[in-house]
Structure 1
Amino acid sequence: MNGKDLFNFGPAFGYFFRKADPNRKDNFNLRTMHFINKLSMTMFLVGLGVLLYRWFIR
């Protein structure tokens, strides 16, 4: 593993913007799981942004 692999955020961003797969069953539990995953990733990125702002800007 090299340093370039550590900052490969393509799969994470693809998770936010992918289309629904018409061949897969959709139910409440699956939708809820994906919503919570997206929410937690968003909260992590916002927190990381706040930390970077505090360390480098202030």
Structure 2
Amino acid sequence: MGVWNQVAQYLYLKKKDPDAPKNFAVKFMHGINRISILLFLLAMIILAFKLLRH
């Protein structure tokens, strides 16, 4: 599976793979990855606004 497909699944832009493993560790890892992607996107938006204001 490609990186962009995985990111799309994390952000609920694409359906999840029905053959993907479903245990607690994988769910927890995907949750942490989702939080880190969202925080990264938020930081990029804040940096863009700061750069555009100056």
TM range (shorter): 0.5 to 0.7
Q: Percent identity?
A: 27
Q: Is the radius of gyration larger for structure 1 or structure 2? A: 1
Say whether residues 1:24 and 2:16 are aligned partners. Answer: no
Deviations 1:11-50 (A, max 9, x none): 2652322323333331111111111111101000100110
Q: Matched residues in 1 for 2:14 and 2:28: separation?
A: 16
Gaps of 5+ in 1: 1-10
CA RMSD, Structure 1 to Structure 2 (Å): 1.9
Aligned mate of 1:33, from 26, 29, 36: 29
Tell me the TM-score normalised to structure 1 length: 0.64
- The count of aligned residue pairs is 48
In structure 2, the residue corresponding to 1:25 is in which secondary structure? coil
Q: Which amino acid aligns with 1:21?
A: D
Structure 2 residue aligned with 1:57: 53
Tell me the TM-score normalised to structure 2 length: 0.68
Q: Matched residues in 2 for 1:41 and 1:25: separation?
A: 21
Gaps of 5+ in 2: none
